[in-house]
A and B are shown apart, each in its own frame.
Chain A
Amino acid sequence: MVRKTWLLIFCTLPLLLSSGCLGVTSLDDRAIVELLAVDWDGSEYEIQLSLFQAQENVTAQAGGETVQNLISGRGNTMAQAMESASSQAGKELFFANNELILLGEQAAGEQLNFLLTYLNANPQIRPSVRLLITQGAARDFLQEQASDQLAKNLLGTLENAQEEGLLSSAQLIDVLRQLEGPKGCAPIPIVGSGQEQLEQVVLATPQGIALVLQQREAYGASWLTDRVRARLLSVTDGSGEPVTLRASAGKGRIHLTETDPLSYTLELSVTLRVEESMAPIEPEEVPDLEHTVEQAIEQEVQHTLQATTLDRGLDLVGLSAALRQQNPSYYRDHREELGDLLQQAQIQVQVSARLERVGMQASQ
């Protein structure tokens, strides 16, 4: 019986292993996409694909200089544009390694909802692929960047900016989730030509770009929509000396007051550690430092809420989800006019900061 059991297991293994033999495409016939850029000119899509190439090929072809391996395609639909690019490359497009998608400004402004739906429905594209909007056409941005490491460099920059709390992850899955529900909006970073740093974030809605956030609002948006890992904050201690703190926080929690469905309390818990200070932090200084940080973050968040939710009725933080969860009957009755109602909302921000590690390095 034991022999039959093992034989049965071994019989199943070919089923598992042979799945890789289905629809075999050799590596030479695959165009491994590292970066997808999409533009829309009002009637047609144009896509640019940056393809992976082995390092020796890159340098050999360009006489020692590194160049991108770009192909493009056009079509009335995304499927046609993809097909056109595939024909140009003479290879089958392969997206499983694609971690970044650039959306031209016009494409993001006019076709965002359709593009997100298309990308989400494509089984090869990862739900965790990052989105980045370019100022102007994505094609122009790509052509200005000569590096064959563009996708890698941009991803690194995005990750750093996320670590610093300047922008949210802007992964496809997160953007789609944030756009769900009435007045949903998602922060997506925007990059201009020649920019090394990402300094701007736009607030996208299913209809397109609703608002360009200033840097302070972008920081506020990160506190509200994502986990902040390593935001550096500069404050002064009791003796007026500068202290640099590294702040990290989970996503804020929203509570509704029981009596008023449009009165919210937003709780944010921030952990701090001293990154740099002129002198050791004394224990009695800790509460003041924590309070200073709490006030700074509260102001940043309030400023962002004012610019997005209270001025424009955009639900950046997920107030409608909280309302649906905590007061479902009110949500059901007022779902349609939620945008207007959110503009009248009372939002109290409560930040609690805790200095976890006082250990510091004294500057000279």
Chain B
Amino acid sequence: MNRTVYVDTRQLLMVLFLSRIFTALTFTPQGDERIAGSTVMLGQLLSCLLQLLLLVPAWLLYRDHPRASVLDCANTLNRPLGGILAVLYGAFFLVNAVYTAASFDFFLTTAIYPNSSSWLPLILLVGVAWYGAHVGIEPLSRVAGFLFVGVLLSGVFIALALIPRYDLSNWVSPLYDGVEPVWRAAWGSLTRSTELAAVLLLVPMVKGNLRSGVLWWQGITLVAFEAIGLGTLLALGEYAGTRLFPVYTLSTIAEFSIFQRMDALHMAVWVFLAALKTGLYLFLAAFCLRDILPQGQKKFALPFCAVLLLVGSIWLARQGGLLVGLTSPFGGVVPLLLLVAVCPLLLWLWERMRGRREVHHGA
């Protein structure tokens, strides 16, 4: 957990992209009250614009401090405030790590191995995430490089195998049910974009042009989500709404030559994505905790977070309804708005006001 390591913006882009794409693979339509596929696609575009808008305060802060994370900025202004923010960000990342691990378990014990024990996969996942967080962002981002190629190839393969099932008549106007479902889809997508908060903390560890990296990340993620949405819509139509995991269903009906179903491919990719995302969030949670722990006790940050992750994910995996609740459009967006937009905006304003006062006093 050395914060002076550097990752390339392309590597950062791949880590964030893969972390974000994980939510698509386990997306369940119940959370969005069966919004039409084309509406979700339009909502995705709107969500992308909202995400860029949310990052404006962070960009203002970054413009003044190109090598400082949001916690560094807060610590410079006021040390207790930095501590409070570290707790808030740390809790946010830990909750998201718990949610990711619980979703992994929920999918595994619902779609793949119904009625099987939820202990073993969670223990193994937390173990891998712990090691990933221990080695840090650089090895994680290198793994993301391999995984990115794997995700791309498997996605293209499944998309091609589904060609006979595409039916253009499944497409309906995204505004068929009015504007409200588009907003709901956009909020839902925004709620799942927890990587926005990760960007604010990873700033000091990235070399290269972060702004263009973030724009590329948003662009590639949007294209990938629209492609997944279009594939699901054309291949499944409204039938997608009857399936618990529509994207997984795509892989079970994809046939090509002797390959009768491709869910094993989907599964392999998805396991690696779960490990990467949980590892990333565990790394960030421990990173925040280290910020407030006294010297000499910092080494306990990661084990402490890992234990909380294990206990929390086992508990959450047993509360199926909560999994949906965490991603409900309005249930999860408030903390994200606070941490991604409001905190950086307040810090930037504080800095501006203090700067102006100092100039005023100097004059």
Contact = CB atoms under 8 A, between A and B. Distances in A.
Interface of A: 1-2, 4-5, 7-9, 11-12, 14-16, 18-19, 21-23, 120, 123-124, 126-128, 173, 176-177, 180-181, 227, 251, 253-254, 318, 321-322, 324-325, 328, 332
9 contacts: A4-B135, A8-B128, A12-B143, A12-B275, A18-B120, A127-B243, A128-B261, A176-B239, A321-B169
B124 interface: yes
Interface core residue of A173, A324, A332 (most chain B CB under 10 Å): A173
Contacts of A253: 168
Given A14-B124, A173-B253, A325 B172 contact: yes
A15 B105 CA distance: 12
A180 B120 contact: no
Given A1-B142, A177-B237, 12 more contacts: A8-B135, A15-B128, A15-B271, A16-B272, A18-B120, A127-B253, A227-B164, A251-B167, A322-B169, A325-B171, A325-B172, A332-B176
Contacts of A332: 176
A15 B116 contact: no
Given A322-B169, A324-B176, A328-B173, A22 B139 contact: no
Nearest to A97: B260
B259 interface: no
A120 B239 CA distance: 10
B124 A128 contact: no
Interface stretch (B107-115, B180-188, B309-317): B107-115
Given A124-B114, A126-B252, A227-B164, A18 B172 contact: no
Question: Which 9 A-B pairs rank lowest in CB-CB distance, beginning with the nearest?
Answer: A23-B116, A22-B116, A5-B142, A4-B139, A22-B113, A4-B135, A5-B139, A16-B271, A15-B124
A127 B249 contact: yes
Contacts of B113: 19, 22-23
Interface core residue of A9, A21, A22, A124 (most chain B CB under 10 Å): A22
A15 B237 contact: no
Contacts of A123: 110-112, 114, 244
B120 A21 contact: yes
B275 A15 contact: yes
B139 A328 contact: no
B87 interface: no
Contact of B237 (A7, A9, A128, A180): A180
Interface in B131-169: 131-132, 135, 138-140, 142-143, 146, 164, 167-169
B253 A19 contact: no
B322 interface: no
Given A16-B272, A227-B164, A180 B108 contact: no
Interface of B: 108-117, 120-121, 124-125, 127-128, 131-132, 135, 138-140, 142-143, 146, 164, 167-173, 176, 236-239, 242-244, 249, 252-253, 255, 261, 267-268, 271-272, 275
Nearest to B132: A8
Nearest to A96: B261
A328 B238 contact: no
A94 B111 CA distance: 14
Contacts of B173: 325, 328
Given A177-B239, A325-B171, A328-B173, A12 B272 contact: yes
A173 B254 CA distance: 12
Contacts of A124: 114
A325 B255 CA distance: 28
Contacts of B108: 19, 22
Contacts of A15: 121, 124-125, 128, 271, 275
A128 B127 CA distance: 37
Contacts of B242: 120, 176
Contacts of A324: 172, 176
A132 B267 CA distance: 31
A100 B125 CA distance: 37
Nearest to A116: B242
Contacts of B171: 325
A170 B42 CA distance: 32
Given A1-B139, A12-B271, A19-B267, A180 B239 contact: yes
Contacts of A325: 169, 171-173
Nearest to B272: A12
A204 B109 CA distance: 34
Contacts of A322: 169
A21 B119 CA distance: 12
B120 A22 contact: yes
Contacts of B132: 8, 11
B227 to A, nearest CB: 21
Given A11-B128, A11-B131, A128-B253, A23 B139 contact: no
A328 B236 CA distance: 20
Contacts of B271: 12, 15-16, 19
A254 B143 CA distance: 48
Nearest to A332: B176
A328 B132 CA distance: 50
Contacts of B135: 4, 7-8
Contacts of A128: 252-253, 255, 261
B164 A12 contact: no
A322 B252 CA distance: 27
Contacts of B253: 126-128, 173
A123 B110 CA distance: 8
Contacts of B238: 177, 180-181
A185 to B, nearest CB: 16
Given A1-B139, A12-B271, A127 B252 contact: yes
A272 B271 CA distance: 47
Contacts of A5: 139, 142-143
A120 B127 CA distance: 35
Contacts of B168: 253
B53 to A, nearest CB: 30
Contacts of A321: 169-170
A89 to B, nearest CB: 17
B358 to A, nearest CB: 43
A328 B128 CA distance: 50
A95 to B, nearest CB: 11
Nearest to A14: B124
Nearest to B111: A123
